[in-house]
Structure 1
């Protein structure tokens, strides 16, 4: 990017102990040079050439090629989510950026840094990089726009803003052309992410269409891991349209593949979703067995993954009116989620709400729902979850004989869920 060119100018000037006044004399003003070096000005090529000539910038071609190869490898690491290798290559790159003369590659590197910060959970740096790139995006070529939109979508996806993420993934698909490296792999990865994102916001048809598209490709290249993940998305979608037998078959396929490739994460996902299926089918005994197995499989997982089966167990026991066991899993959920924020996992709010449902309503219950939970879900456009908590609030008002408020929130819940299906 241009600010990386400015970085190289600044690097060599400092290396020669040259002041800005000395470098800029007879070429441009000191203030304009300062803007170039800080990435705040986009100078014409002739100005850059004059500055480079004065600095006598000569570069070792072998070094440049080696760094460019590292960048390509860095992109590969990010695509396959090889976080350790990506981190290692990134640390090599930031020391040698001045060696890169290919501006197109520098643009791509800056855009890929957004994906890097997201994958490594460097939230502050990811936010800073997103807003920096957003200001510069009007200068992007179609190729740059593809990656910018794709990684922006992932940025919103990780922030639980699935509707915005889906919109951006679909925009990215319009820039997916022959100029994109490994186009078929990129297209299939994009289709998979559209399926996952659509599933989160219950766009069932869209999730099924794109999951099946992805599955066809991943089967053809024997990518068993991604094929199993597609089967899970398909299973979730089939469950939501009451195709329970087909849903179970999809989960079983995913489970079989996961065991064959020794992938504990996908195996736990398939087991967790089998539990949900049996819960929907009103078979609590089977549901609890699967949820317990899912919990055991996630013993070494991050808190945001552990809380999922814990939440499911809490709710299943609550539905059975087994408040003793519901409270046990509630307390475990509160403990595990204590290090999380709602932006990490919506289960954080769920445990707080169920703390009232299971242990008795406190004075802060209405405030929690009205001023915390519902605004958060509305901002993220999580309509189904909004609908769920509006019904909880309505039932609360009904039970304390505030019938007008109960009717108001039951009506609001109906409007929210109806509008979500019409989008």
Structure 2
């Protein structure tokens, strides 16, 4: 990890990501509050979050954009474009301009499906293969730290200075992220052997690679199914705090901080775990961690629930870093953007759906029943993926054939 942090390009990318994510997450919080204040409707705030999630349906097409052009160039253009889009928020003055707010949020969601895979593609080109797990773990550590700060920053800034200023601060973070990546020296990729085949055909190549490669297919399917219930926790955490711990709703913020701490710690040991057990085992451990966290959430005591939140944060880190590392290592450079876009989109969409599904099911089922459902499904996913990976440990295990 020391050598990785000594890489100037990676340091710049990490700094840019830290500032950009802090601005982005603060903006999402602020936009939800803003939509609520403009319309007086809770549904309006919910629609704002929908526009962030909807673009993940288009993630494979975004991957084709990354592979067709320079990943560094795509990153720069996307960030600078979003900085310009943020200026539209200055026109929002009342409920009649709520559509402008939704337009900006939709553009933000579209930028997310480009920036994530692009960043992972750049990491794969500036870090050695044996450093990828460390690099992805550090990226998740940063995300955990941002998760601790963003709710306070977003809500606090909105209260103090209003949504317009928060949006301008986020625009500035997009510019800073672009400037950081401008200083990153990205090695040129080998030229294409054939002319571009068209967006649909190129996107299909990414889909075929992910779902036609047994290792990648099994990881995406297992993780996608696990995340289809993992999102229940976004709704259930309020019932856990209220009915299980008998504490006020504001205590959810404390558990969110504990979860962020879990992500930070897990990110720091991701590289070690991957070198010892392999990247697919990292994903498996993450899915198993979700099951264990849900089990701890059933304990009606603070210590158990806090331990569950800590483990849940670690599980988020390991599943995300493990998925990205698995795809990076098993994908040719000229296909990496499409493969990452497909894989990340394929698991993000079920997670988004599960948040809405959990909210609906919580109206008819108790939170304990839904936690048990989470435990059963995630345990089955982790067990199946562990069975599919050969018994040997380390990277060699994952390069072997599946059962």
**TM-score bracket for the superposition, by shorter chain length:** under 0.3
TM-score, length basis structure 2:
0.24
TM-score, length basis structure 1:
0.23
Higher relative contact order (CA 8 A, sep 6+): 2
Specify which structure has the higher proportion of helix: 2
Structure whose CA Rg is larger = 1
